[in-house]
């Protein structure tokens, strides 16, 4: 049975926030120029904000991926390019768990701590499965470990 990753909506909001803000401010400045203050010169600022917003959005979306756990391998599909990487379970060398501590602001706990899971592959790359990316990360971790152990 295949198991697909489910994106964490907060992750998607986070990677789109700054670019959306840059593009939104650019549109607001254009509106001000056209409708309210025709003397104001904002073209350079608008262009800079648009370029920054598009570059950040492209960079962020280029890194977004989903994974599908299949019987013999993991298929990693990149969101923007639709490029697929096939990772056989026997290519996984080890699993590293890294504790991310809770975040505090003025003595109040803002976020709980969590664990990042890093599957080191024999080819030197790393597959990250974390609650930051995926809502169903615990299911994914459990299933990857089960399928990996079946091969041993």
For 114-126, b where at least 16 C-beta lie within 10 A, e where not — what string?
eebbebeeeeeee
C-alpha 109 chain-centroid distance: 24
27 has pLDDT over 70: yes
Residue with the bigger pLDDT between 119 and 37: it is 119
Residue with the bigger pLDDT between 2 and 98: it is 2
Two structure tokens written together for 114 = 């969590």
In angstroms, the CA 139 to CA 130 distance is: 11
Residue with the bigger pLDDT between 75 and 41: it is 75
**pLDDT tens-digit series, residues 64-82:** 999 999 989 999 999 889 9
At residue 110, the pLDDT reads 65
89: which DSSP letter? G
Which residue stretches of 36-136 are H helix?
43-63
Residues for the chain: how many in total?
152
Residue with the bigger pLDDT between 143 and 103: it is 143
Q: Which residues contact 104 (CB under 8 A, 6 or more apart)?
A: 110
**pLDDT tens-digit series, residues 119-147:** 999 999 999 998 888 999 999 999 998 98
């Amino acid at each position: 049975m295949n198991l697909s990753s489910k994106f964490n909506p907060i992750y998607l909001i986070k990677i789109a926030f700054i670019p959306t803000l840059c593009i939104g401010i650019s549109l607001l400045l254009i509106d001000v120029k056209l409708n309210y203050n025709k003397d104001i010169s904002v073209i350079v600022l608008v262009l800079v904000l648009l370029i920054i917003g598009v570059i950040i959005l492209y960079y962020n979306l280029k890194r977004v991926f989903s994974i599908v756990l299949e019987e013999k391998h993991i298929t990693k599909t990149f969101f923007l390019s639709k490029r697929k990487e096939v990772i056989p379970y026997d290519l996984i060398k080890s699993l590293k768990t890294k504790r991310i501590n809770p975040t505090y602001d003025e003595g109040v706990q803002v976020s709980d701590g969590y664990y990042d899971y890093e599957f080191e592959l024999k080819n030197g790359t790393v597959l990250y499965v974390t609650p930051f990316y995926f809502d169903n990360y615990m299911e994914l971790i459990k299933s990857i470990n089960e399928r990996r152990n079946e091969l041993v």
